[in-house]
């Protein structure tokens, strides 16, 4: 029996269509989706002609520490604009936003008076207050960081005393929730008449090497009471004296200055416009601001110069992605992700066209893991891409959320906030400390990380299928609960519209 020719054509066409559908349904890597030739060119530029360490040297030595809202912070913004223009990015500009108030570090001195006498090494935490002009002398008493509810109930015992935060026993809450409640304790202690608090990031001691580590104590939060971090070596001695039942007296003098707000800052933005879908945007970001004990080379000059190095590699390759790659150097990250929160707010009408963001902000080490910000649906799509990077470096893949950097506002908006976790064992020393200098960075590691950022950005922007669209708030809220982050974000006021509410609009941004 003969099969009519038309029927044969229909059968062949149907079979081909089914095969194409199966191939389209299977996640494709660069070898299958057509992005490989451009990625090879970008990899060559990134590894053989990287300028990332040159950028970091300029940022560390010619700009240095760059606290948001300070003159040096503005100098960093101007530097970022000039660098993006020199690289050849388009639409380079500053997107202004305002923070609630400014702050300038003054002197911080302390001396142990009894049971022995010697100087103590301290530095003030960001956006915290001052002692009287001549300092104060007071007895040191401890407060249990792991039971702040009880410490707040009995806060009057701290009147006229210096409070030393210590974690005792088993914590009754997760660290993030303890950190959120620490602000309540500081306000209560100040109202009760405590004269100062020793405890840095809530009382967890630094890693030694006679370093202090500064930072802020909440999202867009300031405190009138002076709060200081003390070196591990000095704090350990105070703790031993107190454990032995000895009376410890300390003289402390901290002089900081607040600036009435609002204080203006800006994110630095530049683009490689898409050739087919310029309205669809993938953000490549890092925070340009730093703390002020050193140069801010590892936090986060490393990330900022990875962004610039990635942009440079793509531009020099001559490759043009299907969609727009937008490079953003955020400010205000150290004060509570203020720049990235402002970005999401300012661009809320076009967030539906965003694909997400990728951020590098965990020290000076090589990239070891892609964390997809709760978007488990994207794991299959990323697996073949990471396999294509295996000759550069073996990189793990998870859907973890990082809430402590500029991925979070995109995650809250329902998009993949992709955090590039790093293998940075020395970051515990350099983070927010006087050791955060250029000498802590290896040029080859920075070049490799910048290249991986470039490859990631181009692959996401150029692949035939759009990577992601925003989830609705209901689905995002469900995911945040499943990941154990929902209560923390509510405690910090970052998700304030109920269990299934709309996307939050932080009051600290324009």
pLDDT in tens, 373-429: 999 999 999 999 999 999 999 999 999 999 999 999 999 999 999 999 999 999 999
**pLDDT confidence tier of residue 40, bands split at 50, 70 and 90:** very high
Q: Where are the alpha helices (DSSP H) in 229-358?
A: 232-243, 302-317, 338-346
> Looking at residue 80, what is its pLDDT?
98
pLDDT in tens, 132-188: 999 999 999 999 999 999 999 999 999 999 999 999 999 988 888 999 999 999 999
> Looking at residue 45, what is its pLDDT?
98
Q: pLDDT at residue 15 above 60?
A: no
Q: pLDDT at residue 11 above 90?
A: no
> Looking at residue 305, what is its pLDDT?
98
pLDDT in tens, 336-371: 999 999 999 999 999 999 999 999 999 999 999 999
Six token digits for residue 375: 């978007």
C-alpha 276 chain-centroid distance: 31
Which helix (DSSP H) or strand (DSSP E) does residue 452 occupy?
A: helix 443-462
Q: pLDDT at residue 7 above 50?
A: no
Six token digits for residue 90: 């388009």
**pLDDT confidence tier of residue 445, bands split at 50, 70 and 90:** very high
Return all residues near 259 (Cβ < 8 A) that are at least 6 apart: 69, 101, 102, 103, 104
Domains recognised in the chain with CATH numbers: 30-100+262-491 (3.40.630.10), 104-258 (3.50.30.30)
> Looking at residue 510, what is its pLDDT?
33
Q: How many angstroms separate the CA atoms of 1 and 22, rounded?
A: 31
Q: pLDDT at residue 4 above 70?
A: no
Tell me if the bond preceding 189 is cis, omega within 30° of 0.
no
**pLDDT confidence tier of residue 207, bands split at 50, 70 and 90:** confident
Q: pLDDT at residue 206 above 90?
A: no
Three-state DSSP at 96 gives: strand
> Looking at residue 502, what is its pLDDT?
41
**What Å distances lie between residue 91 and 80, 268, 324, 453, CA to CA?**
13, 11, 11, 21
Which helix (DSSP H) or strand (DSSP E) does residue 44 occupy?
A: helix 36-48
Q: Which of 193, 196, 184 is nearest to 156 (CA)?
A: 193
Q: How many angstroms separate the CA atoms of 493 and 220, rounded?
A: 10
Three-state DSSP at 435 gives: coil
Q: What percent of the chain has pLDDT over 70?
A: 91
R_g over Cα of the chain = 25
Rounded mean pLDDT, 72-78? 98
Half-sphere exposure of 156 toward its Cβ, with a 13 Å CA cutoff?
0
Backbone angles phi and psi of 212, in degrees to 5: -105, 160
Q: pLDDT at residue 501 above 50?
A: no
Specify the range with the lowest mean pLDDT, choosing from 18-32, 147-161, 485-499. 18-32
> Looking at residue 26, what is its pLDDT?
78
Rounded mean pLDDT, 182-195? 97
Three-state DSSP at 393 gives: coil
> Looking at residue 208, what is its pLDDT?
80
User: Are residues 140 and 164 in contact, defined by beta-carbon separation less than 8 angstroms?
Assistant: yes
> Looking at residue 203, what is its pLDDT?
55
> Looking at residue 463, what is its pLDDT?
98
Q: What percent of the chain has pLDDT over 90?
A: 88
Tell me if the bond preceding 88 is cis, omega within 30° of 0.
no
Rounded mean pLDDT, 31-53? 97
Three-state DSSP at 123 gives: strand
pLDDT in tens, 215-245: 999 999 999 999 999 999 999 999 999 999 9
Q: pLDDT at residue 5 above 60?
A: no
Return all residues near 128 (Cβ < 8 A) that are at least 6 apart: 217, 222, 223, 225, 226, 227, 228, 254, 256
Q: pLDDT at residue 431 above 50?
A: yes
Rounded mean pLDDT, 43-68? 98
Biggest alpha carbon distance in the chain? 107
Q: pLDDT at residue 101 above 90?
A: yes
**pLDDT confidence tier of residue 496, bands split at 50, 70 and 90:** low
> Looking at residue 313, what is its pLDDT?
98
Q: How many angstroms separate the CA atoms of 250 and 198, rounded?
A: 11
Mean model confidence pLDDT for the chain: 92
Regarding predicted confidence, which is higher, 508 or 233? 233
Q: How many angstroms separate the CA atoms of 500 and 481, rounded?
A: 11
Q: How many angstroms separate the CA atoms of 293 and 431, rounded?
A: 10
């Amino acid at each position: 029996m003969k099969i009519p020719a038309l029927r044969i054509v229909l059968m062949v066409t149907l079979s081909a269509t089914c095969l194409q559908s199966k191939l389209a349904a299977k996640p494709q890597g660069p070898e299958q989706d057509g992005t490989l030739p451009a990625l090879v060119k970008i990899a060559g530029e990134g590894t053989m002609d990287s300028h990332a360490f040159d950028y970091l040297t300029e940022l560390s030595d010619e700009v240095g520490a760059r606290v948001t809202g300070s003159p040096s912070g503005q100098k960093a913004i101007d530097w970022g604009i000039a660098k993006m223009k020199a690289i050849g990015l388009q639409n380079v500009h500053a997107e202004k936003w305002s923070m609630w108030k400014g702050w300038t570090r003054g002197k911080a001195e302390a001396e142990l008076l009894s049971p022995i006498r010697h100087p103590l090494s301290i530095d003030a935490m960001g956006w915290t207050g001052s002692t009287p002009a001549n300092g104060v002398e007071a007895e040191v008493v401890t407060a249990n960081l792991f039971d702040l509810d009880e410490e707040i109930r009995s806060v009057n015992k701290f009147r006229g005393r210096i409070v030393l935060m210590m974690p005792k026993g088993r914590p009754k809450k997760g660290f993030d929730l303890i950190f959120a409640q620490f602000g309540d304790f500081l306000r209560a202690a100040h109202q009760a008449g405590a004269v100062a608090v020793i405890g840095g990031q809530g009382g967890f001691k630094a890693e030694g090497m006679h370093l202090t580590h500064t930072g802020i104590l909440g999202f867009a939060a300031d405190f009138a009471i002076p709060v200081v971090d003390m070196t591990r070596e000095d704090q350990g001695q105070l703790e031993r004296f107190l454990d032995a039942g000895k009376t410890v007296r300390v003289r402390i003098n901290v002089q900081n200055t607040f600036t009435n707000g609002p204080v203006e800052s800006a994110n630095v933005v530049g683009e490689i416009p898409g050739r087919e879908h310029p309205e669809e945007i993938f953000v490549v970001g890092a925070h340009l601001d730093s703390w002020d004990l050193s140069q801010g080379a590892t936090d986060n000059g490393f990330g900022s110069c990875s962004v610039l190095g990635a942009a440079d590699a793509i531009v020099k390759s001559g490759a043009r992605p299907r969609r727009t790659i937008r490079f953003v150097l955020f400010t205000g990250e150290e004060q509570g992700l203020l720049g990235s929160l402002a970005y999401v707010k300012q661009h809320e009408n076009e967030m539906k066209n965003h694909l997400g963001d990728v951020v590098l902000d965990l020290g000076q080490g090589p990239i070891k893991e892609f964390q997809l910000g709760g978007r488990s649906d994207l794991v299959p799509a990323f697996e073949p891409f990471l396999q294509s990077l295996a000759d550069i470096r073996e990189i793990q893949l998870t859907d973890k959320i990082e809430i402590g950097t500029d991925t979070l506002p995109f995650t809250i908006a329902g998009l993949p906030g992709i955090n590039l976790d790093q293998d940075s064992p020395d970051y515990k020393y350099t983070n927010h400390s006087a050791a955060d200098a250029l000498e802590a960075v290896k040029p080859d590691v920075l070049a490799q990380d910048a290249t991986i950022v470039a490859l990631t950005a181009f692959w996401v922007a150029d692949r035939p299928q759009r990577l992601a669209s925003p989830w609705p708030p209901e689905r995002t809220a469900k995911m945040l609960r499943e990941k154990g982050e929902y209560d923390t974000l509510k405690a910090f006021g970052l998700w304030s519209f109920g269990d299934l509410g709309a996307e939050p609009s932080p009051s600290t941004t324009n």
